[in-house]
Amino acid sequence: MNKTPSETTQLIEEIKPLVANASCDVVVCVPYIDLHAALEATKGSNISVGAENCHWEQSGAFTGEISASMLSAIGVNYVIIGHSERRTYFGETDVTVNQRVRAALNEGLTVILCVGEYLEQREQGITAELVAMQVKIALDGVSKEELKRIIIAYEPVWAIGTGKTATAQQANGLILTGQTESTFAKSLRKTIAELYCENCANAITIQYGGSMNAKNADELLSQPDVDGGLIGGASLKAPDFAAIVTAASKS
């Protein structure tokens, strides 16, 4: 929940020349009130625009909500669904995440699907099982073809906005399950392979979303199973965001 429309325009204008030569996809996901400004500011650039959430119904008695069809109608291409803040503060559940994913895909949007664990869940060694469950429920009813419009953002909730950034190895997915140490992303890809196919698992984009910033982006994005980043606070300063895009372009 940052930036007025005019501030959004100013920030995007600062970002555009800094990321113009990026060899990775660049997406800005802004509050609903800023979508029009973002769409206007990004015209003719290599930056796409996304929303931060959408409702599962097309219309109806859901005061304050925005539907996927409304987003699609104004030219939005991406939408974040299941962000930890939505789950923590606004009662989002795995079931409603699935409903929102289904609605977004029906409208042709690309979904940035957020999954992740709290600190106590990591300490209990249940990250793999928990995230696998989140993914399986979120993707219920999603076809192999539709999976091409799914990006998975792994966001350890304990590392978001706390300064407790995961180490590069943790971001790559080192988790403890019983006596077995395994790679998170490989575990996640295994879940996708079980649901769909090996090629699907290898093709899906996995982002890291836990306090990635200009200082740690190179190390985090150099990990073999980290394909990109879901950036929070560091996206509010053009030079910092550009540094992360540069790191992503190299990886």
Catalytic residues: 83, 155
Please check whether residue 51 is in contact with residue 76, taking contact to mean a CB–CB distance below 8 angstroms: yes
**What is the DSSP track for 24-82?**
S-EEEEE-GGGHHHHHHHTTTSSEEEEES--BSSSSSS-TT--BHHHHHHTT--EEEES
Q: Which residue blocks in the chain are alpha helix, DSSP H?
A: 5-19, 35-41, 68-73, 84-89, 94-106, 119-123, 127-138, 168-172, 184-195, 198-203, 217-221, 238-250
Q: Residue 53 and residue 45: Cα distance in Å, rounded?
A: 23
User: Residue 76, by phi and psi: left (phi above 0), alpha (psi -120 to 50) or beta?
Assistant: beta
Nearest to 50 by CA among 71, 11, 70, 78: 78
- Work out the burial of residue 118: count CB atoms within 10 Å of its CB; fewer than 13 is exposed, 13-18 middle, 19 or more buried: middle
214 HSE (CA, 13 A, CB side):
11
